[in-house]
A and B are shown apart, each in its own frame.
Chain A
Amino acid sequence: MSTERHTTDGWDGQALAGLGALVVAAPVFAWAAAQVGYAEPLDVAAEMTGASASALSLHAGLFPDYTVPGLDPYVGTFVSALVGTLLCLGVALRIGSALE
């Protein structure tokens, strides 16, 4: 039993470390993307057809565009990545438990 507990924790530890690395990398990638200037194919299609002007923001959310109002943008990206990752983890575990 102790071995099972230990190895399950070990899997969690490695997986959580991986998650942490992704969260820490988020502001780095945001910075890199800002330096280069980029667009997704959806942006390209919207620009090409003139649809960009039709975009509406009916709900900005608590962390609009992965920022925290009043905070440095890259700190906001980090906080957003952390909050979103933990929220997804928590809600998924609750849903998974409900489906067992």
Chain B
Amino acid sequence: MHTPDGFLHPWMAALFIIASIGVLAFGTRKIRGTVTPRQTQLFGMVTASIFAAQMLNWPLPGGVSAHFVGGALAAIVLGPHLGALSVALVVAVQALVFGDGGVLALGANVWNMAIVQVYGGYAVYRVVSEYNETGAIVLAGWASITLAALSAGIQLGLSPAFGSELISVVTVMAGGHAVLGVGEALLTLLGVHLVARFDAADAESVEGGVVA
């Protein structure tokens, strides 16, 4: 889902650079001064894990591949604002250090994967978790990557490089990721449970240590 340079019209690339900076700046202002050392540790671990997990391309039948993106995981574990910063950092490192995703398209890639995916996944999680926690995590994982792909599909489908074939491109992007999203959903569930298990064990022991 990492859009390279040359695919987007320059005005669209510029628009999403501005929009992404604006949303990330807003989120940063909301959480400044409220992050605990424990959250900082978790922020580091989740961000590094998302980068490493995105290195794992899973070959699937039919000649397609998928990799975990992690937006819903970041949102559920870190909250939406810190989660968006986490995925934005991963996307920026991928573009600037590894040439994965264009530098001019960085704003659009951050918008799709760090903003649409994280905030979209978090919204789904918040709504569904009122009824079922596990279902909320799974649905958030699936919906987050599908929404991100839909966003990318609209950007690309409106671009002259893609012949402005909006419907076709959106169908391939959103439809393809809706199927691949099953893996994202299951890995999100696994990730949340792993973090919760480690975090719960740590919290209990720390409490014991403090009391002692």
Contacts and interface: CB of A to CB of B under 8 A. Distances in A.
To the question of whether A and B form a pair in one complex, the answer is yes
Interface of A: 1-4, 6-8, 10-12, 14-15, 18-19, 22-23, 25-26, 29-30, 32-33, 35-42, 44-46, 48-51, 54-66, 77, 80-81, 83-93, 95-97, 99-100
A49 B163 contact: yes
A66 B66 CA distance: 17
Nearest to B38: A8
Contacts of A84: 51-52, 55, 93-94, 97-98
A26 B99 CA distance: 17
Nearest to A29: B56
A99 B28 contact: yes
Interface string B1-15: 111111100000000
Q: Which secondary structure dominates chain A's binding surface?
A: helix
Given A40-B176, A46-B7, 13 more contacts: A3-B212, A23-B55, A38-B63, A39-B63, A44-B64, A49-B163, A51-B161, A59-B5, A61-B97, A65-B100, A93-B44, A95-B89, A99-B31
Contacts of A91: 47, 89, 93
